[in-house]
Amino acid sequence: MWKGRFQQQTAALLQTYSESISYDWRLWPHDIEGSIAHSAALEKAGLLTGEERKAIVDGLLAIGAEIEKGAFTFRTELEDIHMNIEAELTRRIGDPGAKLHTARSRNDQVALDIRLYLRSECDALDGLLAGLQSALVELGAANAEVIIPGYTHLQRAQPVYFAHHLLAYVEMLQRDRERLADGRKRINVMPLGSGAIAGSTILLDRQLVADLLGFPALTRNSMDAVSDRDFALELLSGLALIAMHLSRLSEDVILWASSEFHFIVLSDAFTTGSSLMPQKKNPDVAELTRGKTGRVYGNLMSLLTLMKGLPMTYNRDMQEDKEAIFDSVDTVKAALGVFAPMLREAKVDQVRCAEAVGDPNLLATDLADYLVNRGLPFRKAHEVIGRAVARCSELGCGLDLLPVSEYKALSPLFEDTVHEILQVRRSMEARKAIGAPAPGNVAAELARWKGLLG
């Protein structure tokens, strides 16, 4: 492509070192789509005849069809996807192909390709996130009456509906979707026409290209357009947050599927056995998802580090953006894709959930609230109930079996009916504030999400 200035061939060693075709080949649909739009601007500027443009478009589509079939041979010496396609086009159709790169550089071309790629991946990710949200809502709705202990510090804290716990993740995933949608706005800006750095002396209709490719806006500075990858970094950080949420959900699934908790039973189809221990049924989907979070964080850090010291504008370093971007997108898509069906097949062990939530100490705070309702300042009520719990430890019973006389000895505010407080369902009914897990609230949230998710 640059043979004019050079007397020597590129060393084979450098070809191998500098190629990106082994991984950027997958940008081919976007590269072809971008070139087709660019050729329209060239025709409009009078730089291509209608016939020449037709040869280009037909040639590009034919190459695309071959790549899709796996019948196209990529050549390492042509470095990247841009030059592989352009060189083959020119080999096939001659001069019109050689005109395609007019007023264009690989610098604005690759920026365009990445933006097109990321835009479509944002949409795919949004669909997958919605699918996982639906799976969580369905699992919650199918077990709407199930109450489990909620945990802080992984110690039993207060009872919550199982569905309320799942809906917490639905909220997190919704924010993830909003983040992606917001970042998509900054991805969705058309950089072509920026050239290598300073546009071109040949004037093309950038708006036409943007319209053809469905971009609502044009980049406003040619140097910015070829040099920044902040839009990709935003997506990588959005993906890192998704991975973080999935990793926490994984941890819950792993705990819940253990013999110790046994709140859920995963299906055989989404678990694996042990080659040695015949009894084992392992939650590998969740473990792998938790594990893969590391590489998604790593990719974000790679690209941040890659960009931090670069002088304006394009530098070849930036070719290293792609593997990080592809890997994070692929990894998160795969995790979302497998998590949803795994949850759809999961069963809840309602007996074990009921046993766990039968722990009367989960309602210790309700007893403190009881005293508050009778006029005792909360800090004092907290202390009284703390002593009741300590007394229970001495007697080896739960708060539900501590005699009324013991309660009354701790505070005269306790009445004979104090034990009524220690009913889980009653406790849940009382938690009516917006966002709290009263049964009516949880049912309404399940219905709201079902409506939103369709």
Binding site for ligand ARG (CB under 6 A): 20, 80, 106-107, 110, 314, 316, 318-319
Nearer to ligand ARG, 153 or 316 (CB): 316
**Active-site residue identified among 82, 153, 200, 267:** 153
How far is residue 231's CA from residue 325's CA, in Å, rounded to a whole number? 11
Q: How far is the CB of 333 from ligand ARG (least distance, A)?
A: 22
Calculate the dihedral angle through the C-alpha atoms of 263, 269, 271, 273, rounding to the nearest 10 degrees.
120
How far is residue 18's CA from residue 349's CA, in Å, rounded to a whole number? 55
Nearer to ligand ARG, 25 or 151 (CB): 25
Residue whose entry in the numeric block shows the structure tokens 């759809």: 344
Nearer to ligand ARG, 80 or 252 (CB): 80
**Active-site residue identified among 22, 267, 274, 393:** 274
Q: How far is the CB of 80 from ligand ARG (least distance, A)?
A: 4
Contact 131, 335 (CB under 8 A): no
Nearer to ligand ARG, 162 or 314 (CB): 314
Contact 137, 449 (CB under 8 A): yes
Nearer to ligand ARG, 52 or 108 (CB): 108
Contact 63, 74 (CB under 8 A): no
In 3D space, the residue among 145, 117, 390, 356 whose CA is nearest the CA of residue 235 turns out to be: 117
Q: What is the DSSP string of 163-200?
A: HHHHHHHHHHHHHHHHHHHHHHHHHSEE-TT-TTTT--
Among this protein's residues, is 274 annotated catalytic? yes
For residue 221, give both structure tokens.
Answer: 């500075």
How far is residue 439's CA from residue 167's CA, in Å, rounded to a whole number? 13
Strand partners, 155: 152
How crowded is the C-beta side of 238, counted as CA atoms within 13 Å?
28
Contacting residues for 275 by C-beta, under 8 A, at least 6 apart? none
Contact 67, 78 (CB under 8 A): no
Q: What is the DSSP string of 330-360?
A: HHHHHHHHHHHHHHHT-EE-HHHHHHHHT-G
Nearer to ligand ARG, 113 or 252 (CB): 113
Q: Which long-range contacts (CB under 8 A, 24 or more apart) does 241-244 make?
A: 241/176, 241/179, 242/125, 242/129, 242/173, 242/176, 242/296, 242/332, 242/336, 243/289, 243/292, 243/293, 243/296, 243/297, 243/331, 243/332, 243/335, 244/293
| Per-position b or e across 6-26, b if 16+ CB within 10 A of its CB | eeeeeeeeeeeeebbbeebbe
Among this protein's residues, is 411 annotated catalytic? no
Residue whose entry in the numeric block shows the structure tokens 């080999």: 91
Q: How far is the CB of 48 from ligand ARG (least distance, A)?
A: 23
Contacting residues for 241 by C-beta, under 8 A, at least 6 apart? 176, 179
How far is residue 405's CA from residue 222's CA, in Å, rounded to a whole number? 81
Nearer to ligand ARG, 110 or 257 (CB): 110
Q: How far is the CB of 93 from ligand ARG (least distance, A)?
A: 23
Nearer to ligand ARG, 28 or 297 (CB): 28
Q: How far is the CB of 78 from ligand ARG (least distance, A)?
A: 10
Q: How far is the CB of 321 from ligand ARG (least distance, A)?
A: 7
Active-site positions read 153, 274
